[in-house]
Amino acid sequence: MLNTSRLNVFREVVAHGSFSAAADALSYSQSAVSQAIATLEGELGVSLIERNRGGVRATAAGAALNGHIGGILAQMETAEAEIAAIAAGHGGQLRMASFPTAGATLMPQAIAAFRASHPGVDVTLAEGEPEEIAPRLRAGEFDLVLLFEFEGVGERLGAGIRRFELLEDPLHLTLRSDHPLAQRKQLRLEDLRRESWIQTSAASPCARHVVRSCHGAGFEPSVSFESDDYQTVQGLVAAGVGVALIPQLALSTVRPDIRVRALHPQSPVRKVLAATPRGAAVTPALTTMLDILREIARPHADAP
């Protein structure tokens, strides 16, 4: 690989037509200049300088090399500046992904805050369920993702992933406002065994956990409708066609014609976490985004 220091020495020799003049310009000894040129010629396997009584001049190979040196050194300076900017958190890119409810609540605020302090970093955001984006994170397609997992079923998400827990997101019961159970002081999951249920698509992690929770309460839920849009789920609950467990993050906007109730003694909970590829360097930009996400998650974590 060509050494930029030796290339710079060669350029000065050609420009000044003299080893001694190049040495003076660079504040080098003449022997250091001669050694640099000899090493460069040895690396390339060709003669680069013709020496005569009147001074020195580039050979045909040397002239060809000299024509590229300006561009090579400029590209190296650009690369060094870009790397320095990335190392300082002021350049490069931050590729992120999130599951939908966090993408609608946590990510917009986080991205706005990050761009205000790091306008030179190119930020991108993709969306998907944890089982879709976790493999892509491990494959290096993303630098940071937001995932969720339920207790006892998150091991497959954790393989090859560095975790940063942000908050616990309870799943609350939603009922039509005039539902007979809406006025009860305490509601247990087993009180809903005779209800029709609305949930996300059967293959989704939340739907699977709702079914597991119902099984734990001793019954099989009768699922009437499925939708991966929680506003649609709310609409179906308001229409009185069923009840639903909805994550708190998806309840930032609640219809006035439904009631939201925590289950006794505790609602099912999913853990929301930020994740990066295990073994990948934690850059200043990534550290800043993690700090911002923790700050934005705090009010959600403290919510009743």
**Would you kindly state where each structural domain of the chain is located, as residue ranges?**
4-87, 93-167+270-302, 169-269
- What is the tens place of the pLDDT at every residue in 53-62? 777 888 888 8
For residue 49, pLDDT over 60 is answered with yes
List Cα–Cα distances, 263 to 180, 252, 268, in angstroms. 16, 18, 8
Question: 116-125, 166-175, 238-247: lowest mean pLDDT where?
Answer: 116-125
Which three-class secondary structure state does DSSP give residue 175?
Answer: strand
For residue 302, pLDDT over 70 is answered with no
For residue 154, pLDDT over 60 is answered with no
At the topology level, CATH places domain 4-87 in: Arc Repressor Mutant, subunit A (1.10.10)
Q: Between residues 219 and 78, which one has the greater pLDDT?
A: 219
- Per-residue pLDDT at 153: 61
**What does the alpha-carbon distance between residue 137 and residue 41 come to, in Å, rounded to a whole number?**
46
- What is the tens place of the pLDDT at every residue in 15-44? 888 888 888 888 898 888 889 888 988 888
Comparing CA positions, the residue from 148, 167, 110, 174 lying closest to residue 300 is 167
List Cα–Cα distances, 123 to 81, 118, 272, in angstroms. 19, 10, 21
Comparing CA positions, the residue from 20, 9, 52, 299 lying closest to residue 167 is 299
For residue 118, pLDDT over 70 is answered with yes
Q: Do domains 93-167+270-302 and 169-269 have the same CATH topology?
A: yes
Its CATH architecture, for the domain 169-269, is: 3-Layer(aba) Sandwich (3.40)
- Let me know if domain 93-167+270-302 sits in CATH 2.70.98.40: no
